[in-house]
Amino acid sequence: MATQDKQTWFITGCSSGFGEQFVRQLRALGDNVVATGRNADTKLAHLKDTGATILDLDVTAPQAELNEKFQQAIDIYGGVDVLVNNAGYLQCGAVEELTKEEMERTLDVNFHGPINLTRAALPHFRSKGSQGKGLLIYMSSQSGFYGEPGGSAYCASKFALEGAVESLAKELAWLAPGIKPLLIQPGVFSTEVMNNINHVPHRVEFWRPLNDAARVRGAGNYRNEPGNAVDMIAKVIQIAKGIGIAEGKEIPLRVPFGSYCVGFLREKLREIRQTLDDWEEIARSADYPERQAPMPTFPG
């Protein structure tokens, strides 16, 4: 449903990039914004003149602390309408070189953080009417469906997020259809992310060419990104409000952004279709002929 009424947004990772754009554009529209980030007093100081409420928040904090921060936002504005899970961490390196701790750090920020904040938000959203009401936005990536060399940690975290949110969407459609999840899948956009890649040190000489190439690629993309972050966030806000480009449209679970992302998505779809064409008969031949598992069905 289209709405231009004032909304209250809770946004993570607001120090720069997409998060900062959400804050500035939403405040320009007159919406209430709770802008969060680590070391907020310094890293979010440049947003104070927007009139947004600034809260210090590390998305890897324990669940109780995330619950408390979300409740603080509710207490300030009387409620929250939209949660934007934007905070991210980009670790780059070959699988053999990455440590378990580095993989866990990436998963803690990119997967557990958004899911834990979802747990903080859902009780509030469910309380808003008989079927609940609220929007859960997840800033995913083309890396949520397309694996790349050197990107295993980041891709793993985004693949995990996509799977969890797809399941969540089906749970909510069954029992709380007024609460909507939305996965945004950007390609390479004009943010600081390419300047903030955490590259592994050269631990295994065999992988040095790959790591060197990853560094060159990141440096080459920085300040040369094909995607316009300002324009993209403006469109995401329109989708969230059901206005502009989203007027009269049924919004899907996933919305890709950028030609870079669309190209990878089409390539992945081509690969999947080719695999099905080549292997479907063999795949089906592994069934017991006399058995047929029922497809899951849910009321509603």
Domains of the chain in sequence order: 8-258 (3.40.50.720)
Q: Which pLDDT value is given to residue 149?
A: 93
Amino acid at site 86? N
| Cα–Cα distance measured from residue 111 to residue 15, given in angstroms and rounded to the nearest whole number | 19
Calpha distance 240→92 (Å, rounded): 31
- List beta partners, residue 179: 134
Catalytic one among 140, 141, 143, 157? 140
CA-CA distance, 183 to 176, in Å (whole number)? 18
Catalytic residue among 89, 138, 154, 260: 154
Per-residue confidence (pLDDT) for residue 224, from 0 to 100: 75
pLDDT in tens, 230-243: 999 999 999 999 99
User: Residue 45's pLDDT is what?
Assistant: 96
pLDDT at res. 191: 78
| Residue pLDDT tens, the chain, 300 long | 566 689 999 999 999 999 999 999 999 999 999 999 999 999 999 999 999 999 999 999 999 999 999 999 999 999 999 999 999 999 999 999 999 999 999 999 999 999 999 999 999 999 998 789 999 999 999 999 999 999 999 999 999 999 999 999 999 999 999 999 999 999 888 777 777 889 999 999 999 999 999 888 888 777 777 789 999 999 999 999 999 999 999 999 999 999 989 999 999 999 999 999 999 999 999 999 888 877 777 655
Locate 10 and state its tokens.
């809770």
Which one, of 63, 55, 41, lies nearest residue 10 by Cα?
Answer: 55
In the annotation, is 127 catalytic?
A: no
What pLDDT does residue 279 have?
A: 98
| CB atoms near residue 60 (< 10 Å) | 18
Catalytic residue status for 89: no
pLDDT of residue 4: 62
Task: Kindly report the number of other CB atoms within 10 A of residue 62's CB atom.
Answer: 10
User: What is the pLDDT, as a whole number, of residue 238?
Assistant: 98
pLDDT on residue 299: 59
Considering the entire predicted model, what is its pTM? Answer: 0.94
Whether 167 is a known active-site residue: answer no
Could you give the CA distance from residue 280 to residue 248 in angstroms, rounded to a whole number? Answer: 38
- Active-site residue, from 158, 180, 241, 260: 158
pLDDT at 3: 60
| Residue 260 appears among annotated catalytic residues | no
